[in-house]
Amino acid sequence: MKALPLLCLAPMAASAVDTELGELVVESMKPDITHRLTAEEVQDFERRNLAEALDLLPGVSLTRMGARSESMVTVRGFDLRQVPLHIDGIPVYVPYDGYADLGRFAMPGAGEIEVAKGISPVLAGPNALGGLINVFTRRPTEKLEGEVHAGAFSGGGWQAGLSAGGREEKFYWQFDLSWQQRSGVPLSDDFVPRPTENGGRRNNSWSEDWHASGRIAWTPAVDDEYVLGFRSQRGEKGTPPYAGYDPTVAPRYWQWPYWDKDTIYVLTRTSLGTDTTLETKWHYDTFQNLLRSYDDATYSDQTRGYAFNSYYDDWIAGASATIENRSLKNVRLAAAIHYQRDHHEETEPGEPVFTFEDETASVGFEAEYDFGQGGSLTAGISHDWRRIREAVDTNTGLGLTGEKNSSWNPQLVYRQEFTDSLEGHVGFAQKSRFPTIKDRYSYRLGQAIPNPNLDPETVNHFDLGLGGTANEGRFQWEAGLFYSRIDDAIQRVDNVAFTPGGAGLFQLRNVGEVEHRGFEFAAASKFTDTMQAGFNYAWISAENRTNPAIRIINVPEHELLLFAKLDLHERFRLIPSFTWADSREVASTGKRVGTYASVDVKAEAKLPADVTLGFGVLNLLDRNQQLDDGFPEPGRTFFADVRYEF
């Protein structure tokens, strides 16, 4: 098994050479540990969803949106609206607010995860302001292969999954199914009961998720591939009420009877002669969602003013094409075009249906020249634009318009392989993000005024990295510096108007200049054939230069991961790890939560007939801690699972 990927430093450049269909990246520093996570590595650290898995990478911070019971990440301080998620090259998000709840995405079906930080491929499409996350599903290599697993964990939790696939000479198929449910999150014994939470098992923290995905592919030639695939998710959950000490925060009694997302897609790669390839992607995604707000903790009545039923009915339709040519000596040329429609409908019983629709497109060009002697230069530029097709004022029902927005995104990256064991890069990129439907049109439950004319945010990234190996590849290290300056940052401006009762209203405006800077270092060593260890460290500083009183949230200044993998016997393995994150601000007003620390231990016993038994404990010290104010994290959590590979 590969060592844990350590550091996402290398800027990513799209390349069709030696990549899988749907994979957008990457040419990176060697050895290939800088930007990837495999499903097996995620299993080693008992990470059950995509958010928890990504937290293994330095510069990627796990966050919670407690009021919505959603798990997310920031990448070098940029949130998921600014760092889009792609699965097999297909963008995945909710059209209204641009987020994807990564806690809903199970890991067993994933082949690998790639993360670009800051500089990402210009050919990948729009809105990659702070980077890009790409998950691409596994591909079978045998006539029949797969695994079955089942497990249990504290809080009345159960999980199970099946993965199976097969490959023939000109055909392959893959199917993945997973299920996870939990009766409630166990709290630390140190948690002090509050009026909305008495301790033990967290109130209204139940959840259940199903995920199924599959693909069937025809491979008529070595460089040709045609894939038809689908993904389907079914989820339901409760949202635990606020359990903090801020008297101004009212508890919400929310439940989500369904959170359903379905995607069908087609991927193609066609060889147009010996030096040219054409790739296309076609996708259609639907999202249905119901949020119920109740009067109180009985979750039975809906009579008060804040009680409601909110229905979403959304779809996304898109297509893209990328062509690449290598007919010129030492030169790679590539171009891409993307087109997408985002459609959002929302309503409440007895109310009209409000409809919003955006049209977004992008064209990009990239050229790479190999100088020889280990040096290469990649230059690229993309032009993105967005047009509003339909929008409405949800207070008056009147139609709204907005400006047509566009942006240019140039970038330049130079890489140098100094020796077989030392490599580095330096890069610059300008990126942008269009504001979401929610950014432009939401009244934020009566607290804000919409702003249909928001402009895109833009950022300038500067990135420097160096990495290498020693001791015949047994020791690996990487270090990097980055600086990002965001212009036209979308920020909240308070008291732009007042309600009849005198309450101040805010509005989102392009008034901000924000700076992110940081340093990342990682090292890992395989001391013997039975022992390896490593650590990741990241320092990130995010500062609002325009208005320091408006804080940048969910960005811990320091983060650390220590781990070891110990083969104590040919059939027994021990994996201890320690995760630590500095305190962070969780509200723009400066509200903070304390440090986060977790000692985790996992053991694996190999049983006969390709069966593996895993068991262990997360948060061994039972720390009472938070990633969002008033929403405590799980206490000590025991788990056990059994896995059979065939």
- The pLDDT tens digits of the residues spanning 556-569 come to 999 999 999 999 99
Q: Is the residue at 7 inside a domain?
A: no
**Beta carbons within 10 angstroms of residue 275's beta carbon:** 13
Rounded CA-CA distance 295/113 in Å is 41
Question: What pLDDT score does 491 carry?
Answer: 85
Q: What is the pLDDT of residues 165-195, one digit of tens each?
A: 999 999 999 999 999 999 999 999 999 999 9
Average pLDDT, the chain: 92
Question: What pLDDT score does 19 carry?
Answer: 59
Whether residue 457 is predicted with pLDDT greater than 70 in this model: the reply is yes
More confident residue, 496 or 380: 380
**Which amino acid, one-letter code, is at 69?**
S
Rounded percentage of the chain residues whose pLDDT exceeds 70: 94
Q: What is the CATH number of the domain that holds 423?
A: 2.40.170.20
- Here the tokens at position 141 are 């290599």
Lowest mean pLDDT among 378-392, 484-498, 552-566: 484-498
**In which band, very low, low, confident or very high, does the pLDDT at 635 lie, cut at 50, 70 and 90?**
very high
**In which band, very low, low, confident or very high, does the pLDDT at 133 lie, cut at 50, 70 and 90?**
very high
Rounded CA-CA distance 549/74 in Å is 21
Question: What pLDDT score does 57 carry?
Answer: 92
Q: Is the residue at 475 inside a domain?
A: yes
Rounded CA-CA distance 39/162 in Å is 14
Question: What pLDDT score does 108 carry?
Answer: 58
Rounded CA-CA distance 59/561 in Å is 11
Arithmetic mean of pLDDT, 107-119: 82
Arithmetic mean of pLDDT, 439-452: 91
Whether residue 6 is predicted with pLDDT greater than 50 in this model: the reply is no
Domain that holds residue 171: 36-154+163-201+210-645
Arithmetic mean of pLDDT, 6-10: 33
Question: What pLDDT score does 32 carry?
Answer: 52
Q: Is the residue at 15 inside a domain?
A: no
**Beta carbons within 10 angstroms of residue 348's beta carbon:** 12
Whether residue 76 is predicted with pLDDT greater than 80 in this model: the reply is yes
Rounded CA-CA distance 520/540 in Å is 9
Whether residue 26 is predicted with pLDDT greater than 70 in this model: the reply is no
Whether residue 374 is predicted with pLDDT greater than 60 in this model: the reply is yes
Whether residue 31 is predicted with pLDDT greater than 50 in this model: the reply is no
Whether residue 536 is predicted with pLDDT greater than 50 in this model: the reply is yes
Strands (E), 308-448: 308-325, 331-347, 354-372, 375-390, 405-419, 422-433
Arithmetic mean of pLDDT, 261-268: 98
Q: Is the residue at 507 inside a domain?
A: yes
Q: Is the residue at 50 inside a domain?
A: yes
Q: Is the residue at 492 inside a domain?
A: yes
Whether residue 295 is predicted with pLDDT greater than 80 in this model: the reply is yes
- Here the tokens at position 260 are 């359903």
Q: Is the residue at 25 inside a domain?
A: no
Whether residue 24 is predicted with pLDDT greater than 70 in this model: the reply is no
Q: What is the pLDDT of residues 329-341, one digit of tens each?
A: 999 999 999 999 9
Query: Of 393, 315, 306, nearest to 354 (Cα)?
Result: 393
DSSP H or E segment with residue 567 = strand 558-569
Whether residue 22 is predicted with pLDDT greater than 90 in this model: the reply is no
Q: Is the residue at 4 inside a domain?
A: no
- Here the tokens at position 604 are 């694996």
Question: What pLDDT score does 23 carry?
Answer: 65
Does residue 548 contact residue 490 with C-beta atoms inside 8 Å?
no
Whether residue 403 is predicted with pLDDT greater than 80 in this model: the reply is no
Rounded CA-CA distance 616/611 in Å is 17
> Beta strand pairing status for 85-87 and 90-92?
antiparallel
Question: What pLDDT score does 499 carry?
Answer: 86
Number of domains in the chain: 1
